[in-house]
Amino acid sequence: MVILIDPPVWPAHGTMFSHLVSDSAVEELHEFAARAGIRSRAFDVDHYDVPAEQYAELVALGATPVAGSELVRRLVAGGVRVPARDRPKRARLTLLRRWAELDLPASGSAPEVTGETLATDALRDDLLDAWSAPPRHYHDATHLLSVLDAIDIMRLRASEIESPLSERELLTARLGAWFHDAVYEGVAGEDERASAALAVERLGSLGVDPALVADVERLVLATIDHRVEAGDRAGELLMDADLAVLARSEDGYARYVALVRRDYAHVPDEQWRLGRASVLNTLLASPRLFVSPAVPEDWETRARRNLESELAGLVS
């Protein structure tokens, strides 16, 4: 592992900044930054932004000076570079478009169009602010976008191998995605219940069909244990989309684990290992991780391989 730093040529906030990275392991980068007294809020996905006045000090501490192009090349080669789509700022822009694609059916008492549009936009902005609020690491806007993308992947596959999903099923799953981690304090169970209550309050205030509101509430609550009744296609969509991260590439899965660990940075290492191992063993004991027939065939195999590899690292 090598800590790299490029020249301070990036302007922001009235000064020039360098990028501080690791060429192979983000956790070692965080350790180096902590030793150097760099604040955690300076971290941006795969690098720290550090002002010009810290450049010489960081080099003296062991950071290797390289050109900007070499820094990016080493990040990519080491599998540490986070793709643009997985960056929160880019995800937020994409999510604005995804929200505009929703078609919320209102009840007969819905407000007039202008007022309804303003209220819907306000809900969108509040949800995006919630998903983007610090100190989220994994459960942020990129996770929401990944869940919505996974729902779309299964939507297309369902049309190929079984009857197409209805617009109502898709809308229920998508709204469930928008709300499922809208409240995130790191308290399992309580976060989901608070998120479900938020869905009932905010969708109800928009005059959304009460039956749809109830379905969204049910799906958000189901993410507590990821169990839905057989044949609940909207529920299957959301549960599997929420777990789709388990089937990422090896590098993508490693980034996911690192971000989850940062979400639980307050937990001591030994407690983390025990708790995480328990979660992994529970997942691996399931007959199937994914329940929807529309899940791509290789998700199950890739997910189990990732889980087994992580578990082996925890117990070794």
Closest CA to 122 of 212, 216, 218, 205: 205
Per DSSP, what are the bridge partners of residue 18?
A: 50
**CATH code assigned to 86-315:** 1.10.1300.10
pLDDT digits (tens, 9 = 90+) for 68-111: 888 888 887 777 777 756 676 778 888 998 998 887 776 544 44
Is 176 in contact with 200 (CB distance < 8 Å)? Answer: no
Q: CA 301, 303, 305 angle in degrees (round to 5)?
A: 70
pLDDT of 210 reads: 94
For the chain, counts of helices (H) and of strands (E): 13, 6
**Domain limits of the chain?**
3-81, 86-315
Answer yes or no: is pLDDT of 14 > 90.
no
Per-residue model confidence as pLDDT tens digits over 186-240: 888 999 999 999 999 999 999 999 999 999 999 999 999 999 998 899 999 999 9
Q: Strand pairing of 64-65 and 10-12?
A: unpaired
Measured at the CA of 138, the angle between CA 136 and CA 38, to 5 degrees, comes to 60
